[in-house]
Amino acid sequence: LIARRVRELGVYAEILPCDAPAARVAAAHPRGIILSGGPSSIYEAGAPKLDPGVLALGVPVLGICYGLYVLVDALGGKVEGAHAHEYGPATLSVLHARGPMAPMQAGVDEPVWMSHGDRVTALPPGFEVLARSTSCPFAAIEDPARRMWGVQFHPEATHTPRGSAVLGAFLDLCGFSRDWSMSRFVEEAVARIREQVGASGTVLCGLSGGVDSSVAALLVERAVGERLRCVFVDNGLLRQDERAEVERMFAGRLHHEVVVADAAERFLAALAGVTDPEVKRKRIGATFIDVFDEEAHRLGGADFLVQGTLYPDVIESVS
C-alpha cells in the first residue's frame, strides 16, 4: 500500500524484503528509503531487524510505525510495550510543521490512523520530537542532519487525511521531480522483457483471462510479438461463459490466437469422489501442470515462461 501511494504521487517505488542486505539495497540506487509497518514487537524473538548498512547509505529515510521502532532501536533509542494498544482513529498534536510533517500546521490537532502496540520512550541522539498523541510522546520525530524521520501513525491509510501530503513531503525531501507514471512503467517493462528474451527467444504464457496474466501477456506481446504463444486451460471449473469471454477478449489482440486446451473431463475425473478441499487444490494444480506441459511440447516448447501474478506474491515467494 505504501508503494502504491508513492507511485500515485509520481515516484517509482520497489519493495524489498526487510532483511535485504545493504549491498542489495544500494544496487537499486535508491534516492529515499521507507521502512514499513508490521505486526511484530521490536524486542520479541525473531522480530525483523534491519541491516545497519542500510542506514549508512546516506539517503533520506522515513520509518512508519514498526519502521519507526527499527530506526529508533538501530540508532540507540528506546522502544517499550505500550500500556494501551491503539488501533483506529487518533489525534495528533503537531509541535513543529517541518520535514515530512510540513503539510500539517503547528499547534493544530490532526486526525490520523494508528495501529500499534509498542511506543518510543527515548529518542536516539540527534533526534527531536515533531508531534505527539495521547498515548505516544514521540509520534513523529526527525534528525534533519542525517535526513531521517519517523512517524507512529500510518500516512498511507486513507483514514489519515493529510497522509498523502506527508508522504509527498518526504519524496520532495528526497529530491524527486514526481513525474513518473504507469505509462512509463509500461515502456520500462517492455524494454526489460525485450532485453531478457533477446532477439530470438520464444515465450509461452499461461493465460487465465484474469488481470495478472492478461497484463503480463500483453506486455510480452508488445515486447516480442509473434514469438509469444498463450495457452488457456479449460478445466471445467470456470464461471459460465468464461472461456468464450477470454477468447473474445483476446481475439485480434495477439499475433497468434490463444490456444485453448479443453481438459474439462480430465480435471473432473481427477476430482471424482474427492471431498477434502486441500486434496482438490493439489489435484487441480498437478493436473494443470500436466496439461500445460503437454500443450507446451505440442507447440514446440519455449525459452521463457510467463507467469502473471501480484507484487505481494512475488515478495512472499522470494522470502
Mean pLDDT of 255-277: 96
Mean pLDDT of 218-245: 96
Please tell me the pTM assigned to this model: 0.73
Residue 83 — very low, low, confident or very high, per pLDDT cuts 50/70/90? low
DSSP string, 196-245: HHTTT--EEEE--SSHHHHHHHHHHHHHHGGGEEEEEEE-S-PPTTHHHH
Residue 88 — very low, low, confident or very high, per pLDDT cuts 50/70/90? confident
Positions annotated as catalytic residues are 65, 154, 156
Q: What is the mean pLDDT of the chain?
A: 92
Residue 165 — very low, low, confident or very high, per pLDDT cuts 50/70/90? very high
- Amino acid 84: pLDDT: 59
Mean pLDDT of 86-98: 89
Choice among 69-83, 126-140, 147-161 with the minimum mean pLDDT? 69-83
Mean pLDDT of 193-213: 95
Mean pLDDT of 24-37: 95
- Amino acid 191: pLDDT: 96
- Amino acid 317: pLDDT: 66
- Amino acid 42: pLDDT: 83
- Amino acid 265: pLDDT: 97
Residue 249 has pLDDT above 80, yes or no: yes
Residue 82 — very low, low, confident or very high, per pLDDT cuts 50/70/90? low
pLDDT tens-digit readout, 167-200: 999 999 999 999 999 888 899 999 999 999 999 9
DSSP string, the chain: -HHHHHHHTT-------TT--HHHHHHT--S-EEE---SS-TTSTT-----GGGGGS-S-EEEETHHHHHHHHHTT-EEEEEEEEEEEEEEEEES---GGGTTS-TTSEEEEEEEEEEEEEEPPTT-EEEEE-SS-TTSEEEETTTTEEEESS-TTSTTSTTHHHHHHHHHHHTT------HHHHHHHHHHHHHHHHTTT--EEEE--SSHHHHHHHHHHHHHHGGGEEEEEEE-S-PPTTHHHHHHHHHTTTSSSPPEEEE-HHHHHHHHTT---HHHHHHHHHHHHHHHHHHHHHHTT--SEEE----HHHHHHHH-
